[in-house]
Structure 1
Amino acid sequence: MSENAAHRLLLVHAHPDDESIGQGATMAKYVAEGRGVTLVTCTAGEMGEILVPELEHLAADKEDGLGEHRRGELDAAMRELGVTDHRFLGGFGTYRDSGMKWHDDGHAIAADEIHDNAFWHADLTQAADHLIAVIREVRPQVMVTYDEFGGYGHPDHIQAHRVAMYAAQLAAAPSYRRDLGEAWDIAKIYWGAMSESRIREGLRRLRDEGDTTTFEGMDPDGQLPPFFRPDEDITAEVDAGAYLEQKMAALKAHATQITADGPFFALANNEGQLVWGRELYRLVKGVPGEVGDHGWETDLFAGVPAG
């Protein structure tokens, strides 16, 4: 993080790669502008699917080395984005990826068997205390995390939401855990979002071009997953298209989780500036600042005094 940065952003994510997918361009843009960017990752993603055949031996049911490998992927991704302050909640290995399975309705739910120190089982207050210490140290004016459903139901995303929101509330209470630092009230809190209208537009163009495999099964005119939100729910758009290349490089760094011929890169080649370079948010705490032509804020720090 830039020393003594006047504006400071804290992001709370569940696994390595979530940050690059959701806010990679924003992170790169703010770093380039000299703003402070701190990432807290809650687990090492030990239960993730491995998309690199020669690394399948790292799977949880084999050598169980994926978490350490993804730690290295996260380091590489942060170098691409220029982020120097990234931490694991409570320290690396404190909380393990909980895993997931798919519900018949198409969203994620908790797996049948969960590790003893899985993040999903974390004590909320203890986990929040780890984050409170970071909040009071960094003193961010803005925090970004998931919505209450974690975007698509993953238990670790939901837990990250709960921990982040609870920690933000407790961190502002002067009488709570004075040993964790001086109280700090985060001025603005956002939940990451994706535009339903934009993904429909992008999908429609791909289908018109004969591409039926990118986001296979998604109908441009049908029901979409819950992490795509109607435009009226969105309150901020950070146009970081100039940093799309850095975002794509960060995604490539997460090689065990994201394939170079996958949907992120297919859309990047076609609708990258619109879909991935302009990152969207829902303001859930704080007062909106100046808005742009679309009626959305164009800067997460809009209306927030520097300092």
Structure 2
Amino acid sequence: MATVLAFHAHPDDEVLMTGGTLARAAAEGHRVVIAVATDHLAAGPHTESPRLRELRASAEVLGAHRVVHLGYADSGHGPVLYPDPPGRTRFARADTEEAAERLAALLREEDADLLLSYDAHGGYGHRDHVKVHQVARRAVELAATPRLLEATMPRETIALTVRLIRVLRIPFRYDPEALRTAYSPRSAITHTLDVRRFARQKRAALAAHRSQVTGNGRLAPVMRTLIRLPAPLFGLLLGREWFTEVALRPAHRPPTAEQRAQ
């Protein structure tokens, strides 16, 4: 059995980009770990963020075994990167090497066989998603992790999805020019996973992020619509997940405790 570590920018990203893959890996007996760079802001110094609690609920639905927060704050949308909150660093402002070492330490601790992260565009270009790509690339070098798959979507599929959103009259704000360069061309994608049989789990995991579903964020109307869909239709829309495998240089991995004991 393998250990799969999925590194995401924010709670709820784990569902939208990799939820079916993680549910499938867990169902097949693999160890699944979800790490997030940010958890938004906690209500107090000793209080867990509501977003992180929602992530733990989502992870339980997907069958994940562990959730880890790397300790950074959300960098937000828009052109302005606001000052760091007290005692926290916004992820986009974090030192890449330092953040990569945090992730590499987790990869070593878990003896991870595979890291999931994001493509070079960070999907749709969010500064925290781009940072995930950069940090993950460096972390697999530091930890000598054997495989790195970067979650993405075919740009052609994005165009179809936007047309469907228009037909369904779902309120959704987007930049048409940005979508033309977001994610990856189909020719760059190396893995397409059919996860339709995990549609119910993926839909329930998405619903666990209640603050995002009921809030007034940019994706909230889309998320509200998605969790109301019948499982077969949800699976038709979100039943495939795409990845690009990164060619890594061979690296020596120190033997595990089990290997040393043999």
Change (3 A) 1:43 1:204: closer
CA RMSD of aligned residues (A): 3.1
Question: Which letter does structure 2 place at the counterpart of 1:240?
Answer: V
| 1:42 aligned onto 2:4 | no
| 1:243 aligned onto 2:185 | no
* 1:293 matched residue in structure 2: none
**How far apart, in 2, do the equivalents of 1:64 and 1:262 lie?**
32
- Structure 2: any 5+ residue segments left out of the alignment? 250-258
* 1:292 matched residue in structure 2: none
**How far apart, in 1, do the equivalents of 2:91 and 2:162 lie?**
34
Change (3 A) 1:168 1:110: farther
Decide whether the 8 Å contact of 2:34 with 2:59 is kept in 1. no
Question: Which letter does structure 1 place at the counterpart of 2:151?
Answer: G
**How far apart, in 2, do the equivalents of 1:148 and 1:266 lie?**
29
* 1:255 matched residue in structure 2: 210
Please give the residue correspondences for 1:188-267 in structure 2 after superposition, counting only pairs within 5 Å: 188-205=147-164, 207=166, 210-215=167-172, 224=179, 226-259=181-214, 262-264=221-223, 266=225
Change (3 A) 1:133 1:278: same
**How far apart, in 1, do the equivalents of 2:90 and 2:68 lie?**
18
* 2:253 matched residue in structure 1: none
How far did residue 266 of structure 1 move? 3.8
SS in 2 for 1:42: strand
Offset from partner CA, 1:119-151 (integer Å, 9 cap, x none)? 222222222221111111212222111122322
| 1:283 aligned onto 2:245 | yes
SS in 2 for 1:152: helix
* Match 2:51 to one of 57, 67, 70: 70
* Match 2:102 to one of 130, 142, 165: 130
Change (3 A) 1:96 1:224: closer
* 1:296 matched residue in structure 2: none
Change (3 A) 1:156 1:278: same
How far did residue 217 of structure 1 move? 5.8
| 1:86 aligned onto 2:48 | no
Higher Cα Rg, which structure: 1
Decide whether the 8 Å contact of 1:129 with 1:167 is kept in 2. yes
SS in 2 for 1:248: helix
SS in 1 for 2:179: coil
Please give the residue correspondences for 1:21-40 in structure 2 after superposition, counting only pairs within 5 Å: 21-40=16-35
TM-score (norm 1): 0.68
* 1:97 matched residue in structure 2: 74
**How far apart, in 2, do the equivalents of 1:245 and 1:17 lie?**
16
How far did residue 204 of structure 1 move? 4.0
Identity %: 32
How far did residue 198 of structure 1 move? 2.8
**How far apart, in 2, do the equivalents of 1:142 and 1:248 lie?**
24
Offset from partner CA, 1:43-86 (integer Å, 9 cap, x none)? 11239xxxxxxxxxx7xxxx899961111111111111111211
Bigger shift: 120-129 or 233-242?
120-129
- Structure 1: any 5+ residue segments left out of the alignment? 1-5, 48-57, 102-108, 173-185, 288-306
* 1:111 matched residue in structure 2: 81
**How far apart, in 2, do the equivalents of 1:17 and 1:157 lie?**
13
Higher share in helix = 2
TM-score (norm 2): 0.79
